[in-house]
Amino acid sequence: MRIAVFDSKQYDRTALNAANLQHQHELVFFDDRLNIKTVPLAEGFDVVCPFVNDKLDAPTIAKLAKLGVQLIALRCAGFNGVDLNAAAQHGIPVTRVPAYSPEAVGEYVFALLLTLIRKTHRAFNRVRDGNFSLDGLEGFNLHGRTFGVVGAGKIGLATARIARGFGLKVLAYDPYPPAVCEVGCEFVSLDELLAQSDIVSLHSPLFPTTHHMINETSLAKMKKGVVIINTSRGGLINTVDLIKSLKSGHVGGVGLDVYEHEEGVFFEDLSDSMLDDDVLALLTTFPNVLITSHQGFLTSEALDNIAASVLHSVAEFAQQQPLSNEVKAGA
């Protein structure tokens, strides 16, 4: 099948080409994100393979259908950028990569967290300048503190498992909790988790019900000095409300690998241009805020798993088999 891979970087191309050796599909890579302006690039393709910030709204999907596209094979877990109702109306199935490497993201949570609370990024810069002073670098122990996991899917549970290894007490919230937590956590209500946790790690999908779940009201329920880590979806946090809590000192630290308005910024080299987003620019000025560019997934193992999963979905579709990773309207 002919597959148009949108918003592709060199690491995508390397992983997909390697995985394709056993499938022999025709892969064509585009730097452009898939949206209503770039959808003509999909002409002549059976499958489109978008990434997390591509916008497949109803007009875009209608155009894909007219161009003869038969399958949307996402190479990410999130599918909030796809109008699933429109896809169903046009008879185009949508697949995703539900669990490429939960450990990759779980481990990255602690890369952000430890860097933030032990200030190793600031220490690194000091030493490079010949400053070996320890003033201002005091952190705190993780051992014995309470770690809250919001969203207990595969990534959330992988993160909880790592947290237990640090000697943290782990609380978890999920709208559909299992009867028993397999990693030794305690399921509580969201309000209980926010009130008791020293660290809150977000792992929820982005739905209308979870959009801005971290806002002025929920932030006020958290402990003073709480550390918030978000490696899931930027839209889970109302950034303006977060900045207010940072300014007041109520929030003690924030690690963000995602941002609600990251499209057009993250994954791009903007070092020679001005940052148009004033909110993001302000966030970067806080010494207790650590921002990375949506790289939690970026390990060789995860890239290999993503590529294999995408091409497995395409193979299932080509062979008219049930699509094991399909997502539908109402999911």
pLDDT (tens digit per residue) in 18-35: 999 999 999 999 999 999
Which one of the listed residues 233, 260, 312, 316 is annotated catalytic? 233
Residue 90 falls in the annotated catalytic set: no
**pTM summary value:** 0.90
Residue 126 falls in the annotated catalytic set: no
Residue 331 has pLDDT above 80, yes or no: no
Which one of the listed residues 75, 262, 312, 316 is annotated catalytic? 262
Residue-wise pLDDT tens digits, 68-81: 999 999 999 889 89
Three-state SS letters, the chain: CEEEECCCCHHHHHHHHHHHHHCCCEEEECCCCCCCCCHHHHCCCCEEECCCCCCECHHHHHHHHHCCCCEEECCCCCCCCECHHHHHHCCCCEECCCCCCHHHHHHHHHHHHHHHHHCHHHHHHHHHCCCCCCCCCCCCCCCCCEEEEECCCHHHHHHHHHHHHCCCEEEEECCCCCCCCCCCCEECCHHHHHHHCCEEEECCCCCCCCCCCECHHHHHCCCCCEEEEECCCHHHECHHHHHHHHHHCCEEEEEECCCCCCCCCCCCCCCCCCCCCHHHHHHCCCCCEEECCCCCCCCHHHHHHHHHHHHHHHHHHHCCCCCCCEECCCC
1-10, 126-135, 145-154, 271-280: which range is least confident on average?
271-280
Residue 294 falls in the annotated catalytic set: yes
Domain annotation for the chain: domains and CATH numbers: 2-100+299-327 (3.40.50.720), 102-291 (3.40.50.720)
Residue 260 has pLDDT above 70, yes or no: yes
What pLDDT is attached to residue 196?
98
Residue-wise pLDDT tens digits, 63-120: 999 999 999 999 998 898 999 999 999 999 999 998 788 999 999 999 999 999 999 9
What pLDDT is attached to residue 271?
87
Residue 256 has pLDDT above 90, yes or no: yes
Which one of the listed residues 203, 294, 312, 316 is annotated catalytic? 294
